[in-house]
Amino acid sequence: MYNDLSPNIKSSITRSITQTFEQYMSDIAWDEELYDIEDFIDSWREYITTKALWYERISDDMKANPKFHEDLAQRINEVIQRIISEPPSEEQIANIQIMQEKLDTHYSYDCKAEAVFVESLLKDRLNKEQ
């Protein structure tokens, strides 16, 4: 069923998963022990029902179909896997290393999205110290 959607809607779904996942992980400071798939799904459900324009363009029949939900679950897993598999850029690694040396911190990060979070955290700390 998911594959029957227009490319624009599929792209919008992927964007909504990506944005919500990255925001959720930021909210829990990328702490894997705090990660709860149900909490993430609740966040995503709230996002799509209140902010996502694509959600209104899908029929109620499709939204009620279990196969559509299976397809969405698979897509969510694929997007999350892609996010956590994308390595940080060399520039991110260098910037984080410089800031960590200045602040004497030792944050770890495993993917590009987590590096964005760490970079932001370190920049905020540096700005507060200046």
Would you kindly state where each structural domain of the chain is located, as residue ranges? 2-85, 90-129
The verdict on pTM exceeding 0.85 is: yes
Q: pLDDT (tens digit, 9 = 90+) per residue, 90-99?
A: 999 999 999 9
Q: What is the DSSP string of 28-78?
A: TTT-TTT--HHHHHHHHHHHHHHT-HHHHTS-HHHHH-HHHHHHHHHHHHH
| % pLDDT > 70, the chain | 100
Q: Output the six-digit token pair for 44.
A: 């995503």
Q: pLDDT (tens digit, 9 = 90+) per residue, 71-107?
A: 999 999 999 999 999 999 999 999 999 999 999 999 9
Q: Residue 86's closest CA among 106, 107, 115? A: 115
